[in-house]
Structure 1
Amino acid sequence: MGRQAQANAHVPLPVRGGVAPSYLWLTESRAGGMLRFLAERFPDVTPASWAARLQRGDVVDAAGTPLSAGSHVRKGMRIWYYRELDEAETPIPFKERILFQDEHLLVVDKPHFLPMIPSGRFLHETLLVRLKAQLELPHLTPIHRLDRETAGVVIFSHNPDTRGRYQSMFQKRVVRKVYEALAGPVAGRDFPFTYRSRMVDGDKFFVMTEEAGEPNSETFIEVLERRGDTVRYRLHPHTGRKHQLRLHLASLGAPILNDAFYPVALPCKGDDFSAPLQLLARAIGFDDPLTGQPRTFTSERNLDWPG
């Protein structure tokens, strides 16, 4: 779909039910009217759905003027609309917890299974939309991400004036992240140790793999506790590659419990919430770029030991 509204842009549609409007720049003029253009531009959305949105006034130009089915499609126009789903979303029966809020940041303890932002079949059942609807913070934006399957601490900015200062911490890798995971034992290693590898995109778009070459990922691994054949690890990622912790433990012969991607990508379980990935973003720490004071935020959640 189109891009979501930028906080500092003139937005002719308000946030509605936590959903910010999206926009699309038109790169060419087209005959046939706006309805025909939208149906062709977004084939996954039915023409009937677009017709209903146009009739409701939910598709507007940059000035906020509602567009109709027969409105001209002109190069250089920017149109605004709300993203919608044609099918009802399955409610995700787990709740987020707010850990901290000030005039700049919102820190949240995310549950398993809840996506960060709207994508694919998820819209209202996402952390960003839930929080916007609950707190009425129209400028709320995550400044880093967690996988849908991962629970734990995540930080949002809701002040556009200071957002860049906090985002730069993650870009400069000065944020201290601590994760915990439940997995099997790693053989042939003395703990703690640092694992490094070269990670690249795998054959399937959603997974990563390792290959020979200069390492581009690094994780410091400690053991916190053992219960039978299960170990609770503390993980310190020094780089932030996609699925880094999941791939590193799987490569060590100890995939995280209930991981449906590593070491082998399993068929999608859809809306089965019975076996959450046992990976938790336990804590995030940093020196506040505005005050210089050290800050640490810690998850209140716990992982589920088997048995």
Structure 2
Amino acid sequence: MRRRTPPPPSPLPQRDGIDPVRVRLPGLGPWTTVGEHLSERFGPRRAGLLAEMFAAGRIVGANGQAVPPDTAYVPGMFVWFHRDLPPEEPVPFPVEVVYRDEHVVVADKPHFLATTPRGSHVTETALARLRRELGLPTLGAAHRLDRLTAGLVLFTVRPEERGAYQALFRDRRVHKVYEAVAPYDPALTLPVTVRSRILKERGELAAREVPGEPNAVSRVELLAHRPDGLARYQLTPHTGQTHQLRVHMSALGVPIRHDPLYPEVTAAGPAGDPRHPLQLLARELAFTDPVTGKDHRLRSARPLTAWSPAGEDDGGAETGGPDGPGGDRGVPRGQ
């Protein structure tokens, strides 16, 4: 099998923790200049922006020098540039570092912060923030949490090692435990293992269960319940389908508190209500490091606000934890 030649390193530094856009000119086409190809790629609506970028020398080649629009088209040539990003609403909660060594960073992500740049969330993401705050421009995500879900996320420090850590999740060699707050149903027999086939189609906000061979398996256990009708659950996913835990809890008749999509789409929609964060937390992450061989068992100290001692049910308690600021963070367990 012929290996594809890796692209040259970027001649542009990151900006606000975000890599520049890299474009590889395709091998076939009617273009005679770089400007012709990028004009077609950008489209007529961005013609003015493209002209400004060329005029300002913001589109560069592998040597870091500006590429004029009349540069001869060369199939396979790379060019780089930074996008102009619109202002983003800051997520007013910190990203706590639970564990860090020369290979990985395990962070405790707050609700409403995306893991990696996507769509309208770019600089206000856990990855971009950590790159800036830790001074680690090569940091990359080994997996992702939904923007509305809080808790532990594994990042890698060295790009050449990222594949080994991503394989942990692909091969289901990471033990993940979540906690959730949802209604209490005394008629629901727990613990229970839920198995179903979940389908999430492009363009649809919510995933749904469909007939067929199960592709999603979740273990649901009751931890405690209160007189106000709420309960705290431990959720252990054995597979990783989109919105799996949210779909399974809804199917059991106990949808996770403040879920804007399940069992039905609310007025808040997929963005969620910032006053009422989804009560789902990636509480524990356990794995054997594929590079060092160390066993890690890490735990989030974030509270689920609907279960807080004060009974508050909003986003105001994000920075605290059940053991106070810090808790047992930063201490890998099982080593």
CA contact (8 A) 1:18 1:136 kept: no
2:296 corresponding residue in structure 1: 295
Report the Cα distance in structure 2 between the residues aligned to 1:269 and 1:160, rounded to whole angstroms: 32
Q: 1:155-194 maps to which residues of 2 (within 5 A)?
A: 155-186=154-185, 188-194=187-193
Q: Counterpart amino acid of 1:38?
A: L
2:200 corresponding residue in structure 1: 201
Please provide the CA RMSD for this pair: 2.5
How far 1:153 sits from its partner (Å)?
0.3
Identity of aligned residues (%): 39
Q: Counterpart amino acid of 1:23?
A: R
Report the Cα distance in structure 1 between the residues aligned to 2:270 and 2:262, rounded to whole angstroms: 15
Go from structure 1 to structure 2 and tell me whether the alpha carbon gap of 1:93 and 1:106 turns closer, same or farther (over 3 Å shift): same
Go from structure 1 to structure 2 and tell me whether the alpha carbon gap of 1:294 and 1:271 turns closer, same or farther (over 3 Å shift): closer
CA contact (8 A) 2:221 2:233 kept: yes
Go from structure 1 to structure 2 and tell me whether the alpha carbon gap of 1:158 and 1:293 turns closer, same or farther (over 3 Å shift): closer
Report the Cα distance in structure 2 between the residues aligned to 1:302 and 1:146, rounded to whole angstroms: 17
More moved, 100-109 vs 76-85: 76-85
2:102 corresponding residue in structure 1: 103
1:19 corresponding residue in structure 2: 18
- 2:60 counterpart of 1:54: no
Query: Structure 2: which 5+ residue stretches go unaligned?
Result: 1-5, 307-311, 314-335
Go from structure 1 to structure 2 and tell me whether the alpha carbon gap of 1:44 and 1:192 turns closer, same or farther (over 3 Å shift): farther
Superimposed CA distance per residue, residues 90-133 of structure 1 (whole angstroms, 9 cap, x where no aligned partner): 22222211111110001100011111111111221111111112
Superimposed CA distance per residue, residues 23-75 of structure 1 (whole angstroms, 9 cap, x where no aligned partner): 11222455585455434313497333333333333211233221234434443
- 2:240 counterpart of 1:256: no
Report the Cα distance in structure 1 between the residues aligned to 2:145 and 2:287, rounded to whole angstroms: 18
2:71 corresponding residue in structure 1: 71
How far 1:204 sits from its partner (Å)?
4.2
- 2:132 counterpart of 1:138: no
Go from structure 1 to structure 2 and tell me whether the alpha carbon gap of 1:30 and 1:129 turns closer, same or farther (over 3 Å shift): farther
CA contact (8 A) 2:221 2:234 kept: yes
TM-score, L = length of structure 1? 0.89
CA contact (8 A) 1:202 1:209 kept: no
Go from structure 1 to structure 2 and tell me whether the alpha carbon gap of 1:30 and 1:71 turns closer, same or farther (over 3 Å shift): farther
Report the Cα distance in structure 2 between the residues aligned to 1:105 and 1:282, rounded to whole angstroms: 18
Give the match's secondary structure for 1:93. coil
Give the match's secondary structure for 1:240. coil
Go from structure 1 to structure 2 and tell me whether the alpha carbon gap of 1:128 and 1:205 turns closer, same or farther (over 3 Å shift): same
1:117 corresponding residue in structure 2: 116
Give the match's secondary structure for 2:165. helix
CA contact (8 A) 1:250 1:262 kept: yes
More moved, 52-61 vs 240-249: 52-61
1:304 corresponding residue in structure 2: 305
2:91 corresponding residue in structure 1: 92
Report the Cα distance in structure 2 between the residues aligned to 1:291 and 1:77, rounded to whole angstroms: 38
Q: How many residues align?
A: 301
Q: Counterpart amino acid of 1:109?
A: D
CA contact (8 A) 1:84 1:123 kept: no
Superimposed CA distance per residue, residues 225-256 of structure 1 (whole angstroms, 9 cap, x where no aligned partner): 11221111100000111110011111111111
2:241 corresponding residue in structure 1: 241
Give the match's secondary structure for 1:296. strand
Report the Cα distance in structure 2 between the residues aligned to 1:185 and 1:174, rounded to whole angstroms: 32
How far 1:8 sits from its partner (Å)?
8.1
Query: Structure 1: which 5+ residue stretches go unaligned?
Result: 1-6
Q: Counterpart amino acid of 1:68?
A: P
CA contact (8 A) 1:186 1:252 kept: no
> Which one has the bigger strand percentage?
1
Go from structure 1 to structure 2 and tell me whether the alpha carbon gap of 1:57 and 1:247 turns closer, same or farther (over 3 Å shift): same
Q: Counterpart amino acid of 2:108?
A: D
TM-score, L = length of structure 2? 0.82
Superimposed CA distance per residue, residues 126-156 of structure 1 (whole angstroms, 9 cap, x where no aligned partner): 1111111222212111001100111000010
Report the Cα distance in structure 1 between the residues aligned to 2:202 and 2:23, rounded to whole angstroms: 31
Report the Cα distance in structure 1 between the residues aligned to 2:96 and 2:73, rounded to whole angstroms: 44
Q: Counterpart amino acid of 2:288?
A: D
Report the Cα distance in structure 2 between the residues aligned to 1:172 and 1:95, rounded to whole angstroms: 31
Q: Counterpart amino acid of 1:171?
A: R
How far 1:296 sits from its partner (Å)?
1.0
